[in-house]
Amino acid sequence: MPEGPEIWRTADLLTESLKNDTITDLYFAFDELKDYESKLKGKSVKNVKARGKAILTYFEGDTVMYSHNQLYGKWMVSEAGEEPDTNRSLRVAIHNGKKSAYLYSASQIEILGKQEISEHSYIKKLGPDVLHPETTYEDILAQYTSDEFKNRKLTTLLLDQGFVSGIGNYLRSEIMFYAKVAPHQKLRAYSDEEKKALAKATVKLSVRSYETGGITNDPSIVEALKREGAKRSEFRHFVYKRTDDRCHKCGRIIEEEKTSGRKIYYCPNCQLEES
C-alpha cells in the first residue's frame, strides 16, 4: 500500500496535470457516481490534496472526490486520451485537452461536498499529517509524548493513522532504526530523548522519502552504493526488506520479526534491545 510520501507525490502529479484545465470527458465505474460524469464535464479540477493515505480531488464548485487506494489502487497519468497498458480495473478517468488521469483498482471512491470533508469517517480520525505544510516537529513530538498513546506498543502505534497519518510499513521500520530505538516496547518505556529522536526521524524520513521518490537511506550511503553499482533495492532503505543483509551503519546482520501479522526489520546492534 502506498504510504504518505507516495500519496503526496501522486497528489502533486495530479495537480500539475489537471489543475484549471477544462474537463473534456469523465468516467466513473461505480453506478452511484455515474450522474457526476455529466455534472462535472466542462468544469475543471481546482486542486488535489493528500490526506493521510487518501486523496481529495477538488472540482470547480462544491464537489470533492474522496479516493483511497487501499492495497491495489493506483493513479496513472498520460497524454490526453492515451490509456495505460494495464490489466488493472479502471475506476475513474479524468480527461482534459492535455492530460488524462486514470485511477485503477481503488475500492473507496466517494463524492462529497466541501463541508462534508472534515466529518468524513476516515479523515476525521486522522492524526497530524507529517507531510502537511502546516505540520511541525512540535506537533509530531506532542503525539509521542501524549498520555493518550503511552500504553500502546510502538510497532502497532506507528501504523495507526490516528497517531501520525501517512506512515506505513516501510517508514515504520526506517523510523525506529533512524531513532536508534528497540522496536519491542510500549511508548511509555521510551525516554524523553528517545521520543524526541522518534519525532525527528518521523519528520526527516517522511520528507526525505517524499523528496527522493521513496529513498530513506542517508544520501552519502546511497551515492557510495550507486558508485559500486548497487541496485535500488540495495540502497533504498536502511533496514526495510533487508533481512540477512548487513547494516549500512555497523555491518551487523539485519533481522526481521512478525508483529500483528506484518514484518518489522531492525538492526540488533544499532537498535539497543534495552532502553
Which residues on adjacent β-strands are paired with residue 51? 54
133 a catalytic residue? no
Question: CB neighbours of 267 closer than 8 A, spacing ≥ 6?
Answer: 177, 238, 239, 247, 249, 250, 252, 254, 255
Q: Is the Cα dihedral 119, 123, 129, 133 positive or negative? A: negative
Active-site choice (114, 124, 252, 262): 262
Active site residue 125: no
- Give residue for cell 453506478: 31
Query: What is d(CA 105, CA 193) in angstroms, rounded to the nearest whole number?
Result: 43
Catalytic residue check, 83: no
Q: Helix or strand or coil: residue 186?
A: strand
208 counts as catalytic: no
Number of residues in the chain: 275
Residue with cell 495530479: 14
Phi, psi dihedral angles at 265 (to 5 degrees) = -130, 140
Give residue 207's Cα distance to chain centre: 11
Round to whole Å and give the CA distance between 188 and 150.
5
Here the cell at position 197 is: 529522536
Task: Determine which one of 3, 6, 174, 194 is catalytic.
Answer: 3
Of 49, 53, 99, 172, which one is the catalytic site residue? 53
Contact at 8 Å (CB) between 15 and 46? no
The Cα–Cα gap between 65 and 56 comes to 6
CA distance 135 to 220: 27
Which residues form the catalytic set?
2-3, 53, 262
